[in-house]
Amino acid sequence: MSELQTTETIGHAAAPEHGEPTFLGLDPGGWVALAMIAVFALLIWKKVPGAIGRALDDKIAVIRDQLAEAEALRKEAEALKAEYQSKAASADKDREALLERARHEADEIVAKAKADAESLIERRTRMAEDKIAAEERAAVEQLRAATADAATKAAAKLIAERHDAATDARLVDRAIKEIAGR
State how far the Cα of 126 lies from the Cα of 119, in Å rounded to an integer: 10
The predicted model scores a pTM of 0.36
The answer to whether residue 5 sits within a structural domain is no
Task: Indicate whether 173 belongs to any domain.
Answer: no
- The per-residue pLDDT for range 29-59, each reduced to its tens digit, is 888 898 999 988 887 887 878 888 889 999 9
Residue 114 lies in a domain: yes
Question: Residues 58, 51: contact at Cβ < 8 Å?
Answer: no
Q: How far apart, in Å, do the first and last CA atoms of the chain sit? A: 196
Any domain includes 8 = no
Residue 177 maps to a domain: no
Between 163 and 91, whose confidence is greater?
A: 91
Q: pLDDT (tens digit, 9 = 90+) per residue, 65-80?
A: 999 999 999 999 999 9
Report the C-alpha gap between 31 and 162 in whole angstroms. Answer: 182
Burial of 149 (0-12, 13-18, 19+ CB in 10 A): exposed
Residue 22, in any domain of the structure? no
Mean pLDDT over the full length of the chain:
83
167 assigned to some structural domain: no
Position 101 confidence tier, pLDDT thresholds 50, 70, 90: very high
Tell me the residue length of the chain.
182
What is the number of domains present in the chain? 1
Query: Does any domain span residue 174?
Result: no
Q: Which domain covers residue 149, as residue numbers?
A: 32-160
Residues above pLDDT 90, as percent of the chain:
39
- The per-residue pLDDT for range 3-33, each reduced to its tens digit, is 545 445 555 555 556 667 777 778 888 888 9
Q: Please give the average per-residue pLDDT across 136-163, as a whole number.
A: 81
Q: Picking from 2-6, 74-78, 136-140, 174-178, which range would have the lowest pLDDT averaged per residue?
A: 2-6
pLDDT at 139 over 70: yes
Q: Does 154 or 105 have the greater pLDDT score?
A: 105
Contact, 49 vs 43, CB < 8 A?
A: yes
Task: Determine the distance from the C-alpha atom of residue 7 to the mean position of all C-alpha atoms in its chain, rounded to a whole number.
Answer: 107
